[in-house]
Chain A
Amino acid sequence: MSPGSGTADVNQQARPARYTGERIKRLEDPRLLMGRARFIDDLGVPGMVHAAFVRSPHPHARIVSIDNRAALALDGVVAVVTGADLAAETAEMEVGAMLNGVEATSRPAIAISKVRHVGDPVAVVVARSPYLAEDGRDLVRVEWEPLPPVPDVGTALADGAPLIDEALETNHVAHGKIEIGDPDGQFETAAHVCRKTFKVGRSTGAPVETRGLLAECDAGSGAITLWTSTQMPHLTRTLLAPMLRVPENKLSVHSPEVGGGFGLKCHIFPEDVAVPAVARRIGRPVKWIEDRWENLSGGVHSKEMDCEVEVALDADGKMLAIRGAFVTDGGAYSSIPYTPLIDSGCAAGMLPSMYDVGHVAAQFDAAYTNKASVGAIRGVGWASGQLARETLLDDAARQVGIDPVELRLRNMLSSEPQKNIMGLSLDGGSYAESLAMARDAIGYEEFRRRQDELRAGGRYLGIGFSPFIEPTGMATASARAAGFDIAYFDSATVTVDPDGTATVSTGLHSHGQGHETTLAQVAADALGFAIEDIRVVFGSSDSQSYGMGTYASRSAVVGSGTIMAAAAQVRARLLELAATLLEADARDIDLAHGVAHVKGAPARGVTVAELAGFGYFGYDARPDDVQESGLTATAAYDPPETYANGTTAAVVEVDPALGTVDLQRLVAVEDCGRMLNPFIVDGQVAGAVAQGVGIALLEDLAYGEDGEFLAGSLMHYLYPSTTELPRYDLLHIETPSSASTGGVKGVGEAGTIAAPAAVVNAISDAISPFGVSIDRVPVTPVYLRDLLRGAGR
Chain B
Amino acid sequence: MSETATAGRRLVELNVNGMSHVGLAEPRTLLSDFLRHDLELTGTHVGCEQGVCGACTVLVDGEPVRSCLTFAVQMEGARIETVEALSADGALHPIQEAFRNTHGLQCGFCTPGFLLTAKALLEENPSPSEAEIREHLSGNVCRCTGYQGIVDAVLEAAANGKDQADEPR
A33 located at the interface, meaning its Cβ lies under 8 Å from any Cβ of chain B in the complex: yes
- Interface 1/0 per residue, A122-146 and B, CB below 8 Å: 0000000011100100010000000
Least Cβ–Cβ distance between B127 and chain A, in angstroms: 14
A679–B144 touching, CB < 8 Å: no
Which parts of A254-269 form the interface with B (CB within 8 Å)?
Answer: 257-260, 262
Cα of A691 to Cα of B147 in the assembled complex, Å: 11
Least CB separation from A714: chain B residue: B52
B2 located at the interface, meaning its Cβ lies under 8 Å from any Cβ of chain A in the complex: yes
Which parts of B38-53 form the interface with A (CB within 8 Å)?
Answer: 41-50, 52-53
Which parts of A1-43 form the interface with B (CB within 8 Å)?
Answer: 1-4, 7, 25-26, 28-30, 32-39, 41-42
Least CB separation from A257: chain B residue: B108
Cα of A209 to Cα of B111 in the assembled complex, Å: 12
A291 located at the interface, meaning its Cβ lies under 8 Å from any Cβ of chain B in the complex: yes
B53–A139 touching, CB < 8 Å: no
Contact residue among A36, A210, A514 (Cβ-Cβ distance under 8 Å from B43): A36
Could you say which residues of chain B place their CB within 8 Å of the CB of A29?
A: 99-100, 105, 108
B103 located at the interface, meaning its Cβ lies under 8 Å from any Cβ of chain A in the complex: yes
B148–A723 touching, CB < 8 Å: no
Could you say which residues of chain A place their CB within 8 Å of the CB of B152?
A: 1-3
- Interface 1/0 per residue, B67-102 and A, CB below 8 Å: 000000000000000111011000010001011111
B99–A292 touching, CB < 8 Å: no
Cα of A690 to Cα of B151 in the assembled complex, Å: 14
A34–B106 touching, CB < 8 Å: no
B107 located at the interface, meaning its Cβ lies under 8 Å from any Cβ of chain A in the complex: yes
Number of residues on chain A facing chain B (CB within 8 A): 69
Cα of A257 to Cα of B140 in the assembled complex, Å: 21
B109–A259 touching, CB < 8 Å: yes
A581 located at the interface, meaning its Cβ lies under 8 Å from any Cβ of chain B in the complex: no
A774 located at the interface, meaning its Cβ lies under 8 Å from any Cβ of chain B in the complex: no
Least CB separation from A686: chain B residue: B146
Which parts of B11-65 form the interface with A (CB within 8 Å)?
Answer: 26, 28-29, 33, 36, 41-50, 52-53, 55
Cα of A7 to Cα of B115 in the assembled complex, Å: 21
Contact residue among A39, A70, A205, A728 (Cβ-Cβ distance under 8 Å from B143): A205
A480 located at the interface, meaning its Cβ lies under 8 Å from any Cβ of chain B in the complex: no
Contact residue among B45, B53, B82 (Cβ-Cβ distance under 8 Å from A714): B53
Cα of A291 to Cα of B156 in the assembled complex, Å: 35
Which parts of A49-106 form the interface with B (CB within 8 Å)?
Answer: 70, 73-76
> A37 with B108: in contact, given A1-B149, A210-B47, A713-B52 (CB under 8 Å)?
yes
Cα of A225 to Cα of B98 in the assembled complex, Å: 38
Could you say which residues of chain B place their CB within 8 Å of the CB of A513?
A: 106
Cα of A3 to Cα of B159 in the assembled complex, Å: 10
Contact residue among B6, B83, B142 (Cβ-Cβ distance under 8 Å from A75): B6
A33–B109 touching, CB < 8 Å: no
- Interface 1/0 per residue, A648-690 and B, CB below 8 Å: 0000000000000000000000000000000110110011111
B43–A34 touching, CB < 8 Å: yes
Least CB separation from A378: chain B residue: B143
A291–B49 touching, CB < 8 Å: yes
A206 located at the interface, meaning its Cβ lies under 8 Å from any Cβ of chain B in the complex: yes
B107–A511 touching, CB < 8 Å: yes
B165 located at the interface, meaning its Cβ lies under 8 Å from any Cβ of chain A in the complex: no
> A722 with B1: in contact, given A26-B103, A42-B42, A679-B103 (CB under 8 Å)?
no
Could you say which residues of chain A place their CB within 8 Å of the CB of B137?
A: 721-722
A686–B26 touching, CB < 8 Å: no
> A292 with B148: in contact, given A42-B42, A139-B1, A691-B143 (CB under 8 Å)?
no
> A34 with B26: in contact, given A260-B143, A682-B103 (CB under 8 Å)?
no
B5–A259 touching, CB < 8 Å: no
Central interface residue in B1, B44, B100, B148, by most chain A CB within 10 Å? B148
Contact residue among B100, B144, B156 (Cβ-Cβ distance under 8 Å from A512): B144
Could you say which residues of chain A place their CB within 8 Å of the CB of B26?
A: 131
A74–B103 touching, CB < 8 Å: no
Cα of A70 to Cα of B42 in the assembled complex, Å: 33
Contact residue among B46, B102, B108 (Cβ-Cβ distance under 8 Å from A32): B108
A719 located at the interface, meaning its Cβ lies under 8 Å from any Cβ of chain B in the complex: yes
Least Cβ–Cβ distance between B48 and chain A, in angstroms: 4
Could you say which residues of chain B place their CB within 8 Å of the CB of A176?
A: none
A208–B53 touching, CB < 8 Å: yes
B108–A715 touching, CB < 8 Å: no
Cα of A690 to Cα of B50 in the assembled complex, Å: 22
Least CB separation from A135: chain B residue: B5
Could you say which residues of chain B place their CB within 8 Å of the CB of A30?
A: 92, 100
Which parts of B110-146 form the interface with A (CB within 8 Å)?
Answer: 110-112, 115, 130, 133-135, 137-146
Least CB separation from B142: chain A residue: A208
A41–B111 touching, CB < 8 Å: no
B109–A208 touching, CB < 8 Å: yes
Cα of A350 to Cα of B43 in the assembled complex, Å: 43
Cα of A213 to Cα of B159 in the assembled complex, Å: 42
B109–A683 touching, CB < 8 Å: no
A788 located at the interface, meaning its Cβ lies under 8 Å from any Cβ of chain B in the complex: no
A727–B45 touching, CB < 8 Å: no
> A41 with B46: in contact, given A75-B5, A132-B5 (CB under 8 Å)?
yes
B84–A35 touching, CB < 8 Å: yes
B147–A722 touching, CB < 8 Å: yes
Cα of A751 to Cα of B148 in the assembled complex, Å: 14
A131–B46 touching, CB < 8 Å: no
Could you say which residues of chain B place their CB within 8 Å of the CB of A42?
A: 36, 42
Contact residue among A39, A75, A130, A680 (Cβ-Cβ distance under 8 Å from B109): A39
B134–A723 touching, CB < 8 Å: yes
A207 located at the interface, meaning its Cβ lies under 8 Å from any Cβ of chain B in the complex: yes
A223 located at the interface, meaning its Cβ lies under 8 Å from any Cβ of chain B in the complex: no
A131–B28 touching, CB < 8 Å: yes
Least CB separation from A691: chain B residue: B143
Least Cβ–Cβ distance between B43 and chain A, in angstroms: 2
Least CB separation from A666: chain B residue: B146
> A713 with B48: in contact, given A74-B5, A512-B107 (CB under 8 Å)?
yes
Which parts of A540-567 form the interface with B (CB within 8 Å)?
Answer: none
B112–A687 touching, CB < 8 Å: no
Central interface residue in A32, A139, A514, by most chain B CB within 10 Å? A32
Cα of A686 to Cα of B52 in the assembled complex, Å: 22
Cα of A207 to Cα of B130 in the assembled complex, Å: 26
Least CB separation from B110: chain A residue: A208
Contact residue among A139, A260, A714 (Cβ-Cβ distance under 8 Å from B107): A260
- Interface 1/0 per residue, A173-217 and B, CB below 8 Å: 000000000000000000000000000000001111110000000
A725 located at the interface, meaning its Cβ lies under 8 Å from any Cβ of chain B in the complex: yes
A687–B145 touching, CB < 8 Å: yes
Least CB separation from A511: chain B residue: B107
Least Cβ–Cβ distance between A266 and chain B, in angstroms: 14
Could you say which residues of chain B place their CB within 8 Å of the CB of A26?
A: 100, 103
Least CB separation from A289: chain B residue: B46
> A260 with B100: in contact, given A74-B1, A687-B143 (CB under 8 Å)?
no
Least CB separation from A25: chain B residue: B100
Contact residue among A73, A262, A511, A686 (Cβ-Cβ distance under 8 Å from B145): A686
Across the A-B interface, give the 3 residue pairs with the lowest CB-CB distance, nearest first. A35-B43, A32-B108, A259-B109
Which residues of A come within 8 Å of B, CB atoms?
1-4, 7, 25-26, 28-30, 32-39, 41-42, 70, 73-76, 130-132, 135, 139, 205-210, 257-260, 262, 291-292, 511-514, 679-680, 682-683, 686-691, 713-715, 719-723, 725, 727-728, 751
Besides the contacts A33-B115, A34-B43, A260-B144, what 18 more A-B pairs have beta carbons closer than 8 Å?
A1-B103, A30-B100, A32-B105, A33-B96, A34-B87, A34-B96, A39-B45, A41-B36, A41-B42, A683-B145, A687-B106, A690-B143, A690-B147, A713-B48, A722-B140, A723-B135, A725-B148, A728-B148
9 interchain pairs, CB-CB under 8 A: A26-B100, A35-B44, A37-B108, A70-B1, A132-B5, A205-B143, A679-B103, A683-B144, A687-B143
